[in-house]
Amino acid sequence: MDAEIVYIAMLTILASVVGTFTGFGISTIMMPVLLIFIPLPETLLLVGIIHWFGDIWKMLFFRHGIRWKLLAGFGVPGVIASFIGASLSLTVPHDILSRALGIFLMIYVAYIYLHPAFRLGQSMPLAAAGGASSGFFAGIFGIGGEIRTVFLSAFDLEKAVYLATAGAIALVIDTSRLATYLAGGTMLSPPLLYGLLAFIPASLVGAVLGREIVNKIPQEKFRAAISAFILLLGAKLALFP
Q: Would you give the end-to-end CA distance of the chain in angstroms?
A: 27
Residue type, 148: R
**What does the pLDDT look like over 54-93, one tens digit per residue?**
999 989 998 887 878 777 877 788 788 887 877 776 566 6
Q: Would you kindly state where each structural domain of the chain is located, as residue ranges?
A: 2-239
**What does the pLDDT look like over 135-186, one tens digit per residue?**
787 777 666 666 777 777 777 778 888 888 888 888 887 888 898 889 888 9
